[in-house]
Each structure stands twice: as structure tokens, then as C-alpha cells.
Amino acid sequence: DAKTTQPNSMESNEEEPVHLPCNHSTISGTDYIHWYRQLPSQGPEYVIHGLTSNVNNRMASLAIAEDRKSSTLILHRATLRDAAVYYCILRFSSGSARQLTFGSGTQLTVLP
């Protein structure tokens, strides 16, 4: 599986934007980039995913580099509830029911 690299931890101030980076230099042409997060004592939660173009939804935006070797999850206004571990995951586009392979993720701390 192609791997992703994320910083272990990041801090942000409440109500400020947060940019969470992810490197995936060995991504293949048909891998989707998925982001999930895990709040304390909860199951993982889907945030956003994309293939080539930037994506927006009600939770976040995903900016994908032109060469697709990196991406950035953008939380436009961090709240205390956004404190979580954020996982950047590549998901193959072929084959059977491909699982999500979770790494260590980025622990986001939001300061009041």
C-alpha cells in the first residue's frame, strides 16, 4: 500500500484556520485520498475525500497538489470540538472491498 506521512501533532487557536498536511509521494494514479478523524473515545469519522480536484464539504476543504504527491486538509475555523487525531489515508480504486489503512495521524490540539 502507498504510505502517507503526517506530522505527529499540531496546535491551533480556536476560530482560526488549520492546515493539516499530508505527503503521499508514492501515490498511484487511481488512489483516492481520504481523511478521517477520531475524537477522544469515539470511532473514526469520515471528513472528506478526493482524487485530483480540490474538494469542499460542510466539514472541511481538501487541497490536492497538482502532482498529487501531497494534500492539505483545511478546517476553516477550528473549534474545540475539532480536537482529534486526523488521518490521511490512500484508498485503492480497484480490487475488492479495500480496507482503510490507518497510520498514526496528526493529533490536533485546539487552544481556547
Partner 1 sequence: EPEVTQTPSHQVTQMGQEVILRCVPISNHLYFYWYRQILGQKVEFLVSFYNNEISEKSEIFDDQFSVERPDGSNFTLKIRSTKLEDSAMYFCASSVGRHNTEAFFGQGTRLTVV
Q: Of the two residues 13 and 30, which places its CB atom closer to partner 1 in the complex?
A: 30
Q: Does 53 bind partner 1 (CB under 8 A)?
A: no
Cα→Cα distances 26→2, 63, 84, 101, Å: 6, 18, 26, 15
Residues 111/12, Cβ–Cβ less than 8 Å: yes
Tell me how far, at minimum, the Cβ of 14 lies from partner 1, in Å.
Answer: 25
Considering only CA atoms, give the Rg of the chain: 13
Residue of the chain from 104, 106, 108, 111 that contacts partner 1 (CB under 8 A): 104
Annotate each residue in 65-84 with x if it binds partner 1 (CB under 8 A) or - if it does not, as one string: --------------------
